[in-house]
Amino acid sequence: MAALIQTASSVLRYRGGLGQWAWAIHRAAGLGVLAFLLLHIFDIFLVLFGPALFNELLFLYKGALMRVMEVFLLFGLLYHAINGLHVIVADFFPVLASRRLARNLFYVQLLTLVVIFVPAAFYMMYTLPLEQAGQNAALSLIVTLGVLAIPTGVVLIFSLWPTSRNAKIDMDASKGNYEDSLARIVASRKHRAMTRTELNIWLFMRVSGFLLIFLALGHFFLMHFIYGVEIMDFGFIAQRWVDPVGGWFWRAYALGLLFFALTHGVLGARYSIEDYIHNRAVRIILLVGAFLTWLALTVMGGLVIFTFYPSV
């Protein structure tokens, strides 16, 4: 815990530049989307208990507060996807990782994010039902810009905050500073070569990240902009999944999304556990907990995909 607090405060105080912020927001966004996914797999699981319970619990998605949280989710997912794509491409084409080009690409990234996020978030708020203050352009704009303003504000405040030049940096913990991270990796490689498992995980993170651009963003886009959250209930899922033509396709889509998003997210959470938890026993407990959570939710999600055959 002390390591986590120290790392968080150094990320905020240390001026590692754009790369540091790009990385810190990428990590926070990935963990945020994972937190949503854990809850989401559980709530979709409840469809197996029949329409009464499931439809009653859907107020979770349809309430005004949750609709604002969905705008945060969109921001996190979009930021993580665009930055993740940059990381993947730069890993395979190292010329893109040069400091100057990386900085310019980061600005392109931010522009792409704003161009997609602003109209999408505005639409999500504007199309709320009237009783939830829908069709209110001013409110929709305030929420949209408000969600953008939070990470921007944090970055600005801490970038302008006076920092002592010789602030002591603990080299044990990852600071979110690109050069520190590289130095740590190089130093650790001197002691141990990257194992085959680590290499496979590294590759899996990139392949799954690339697939998730289509699977996760496609799913979010479909649910919000093609169908609309308002019409979602037990019958909506049943109709899509029992359909003789499209049913198998949507089940296969959900299976791909379940496996890649959950595995990528849990393997990603492992980086934070290993970076911040220095006590060996606590670290092992958390890693085992992460594995058991992955297993339980894979089984729950799989049960829905393979056994949900209601009569419609």
Give Cβ neighbours of residue 100 (< 8 Å, ≥ 6 apart). none
Q: How far is the CB of 133 from ligand HEM (least distance, A)?
A: 19
Cβ proximity of 155 and 21 under 8 Å: yes
Q: Could you tell me which of 262, 254, 260, 205 has the C-alpha nearest to residue 84? A: 205
Q: How far apart are CA 62 and CA 46, in angstroms?
A: 16
Q: How far apart are CA 240 and CA 236, in angstroms?
A: 6
- Per CB under 6 A, which of residues 247..306 are in contact with ligand HEM? 250, 254, 257-258, 261, 264-265, 268-269, 271-272, 301, 304-305
Q: How far apart are CA 108 and CA 154, in angstroms?
A: 20
Q: How far apart are CA 38 and CA 146, in angstroms?
A: 26
The answer to whether residue 128 forms part of the interface with ligand HEM (CB under 6 A) is no
CB atoms within 10 A of CB 94: 8
Judged by CB under 6 A, the residue of 46, 90, 169, 223 near ligand HEM is 223
Judged by CB under 6 A, the residue of 18, 85, 155, 169 near ligand HEM is 85
Q: How far is the CB of 201 from ligand HEM (least distance, A)?
A: 7
Q: How far is the CB of 28 from ligand HEM (least distance, A)?
A: 9
The binding site for ligand HEM (CB under 6 A) comprises 27, 30-31, 33-34, 37, 40-41, 44-45, 61, 70, 73, 77, 80-81, 84-85, 87-88, 202, 205-206, 209, 212-213, 216-217, 219-220, 223, 229, 232, 237, 240, 250, 254, 257-258, 261, 264-265, 268-269, 271-272, 301, 304-305
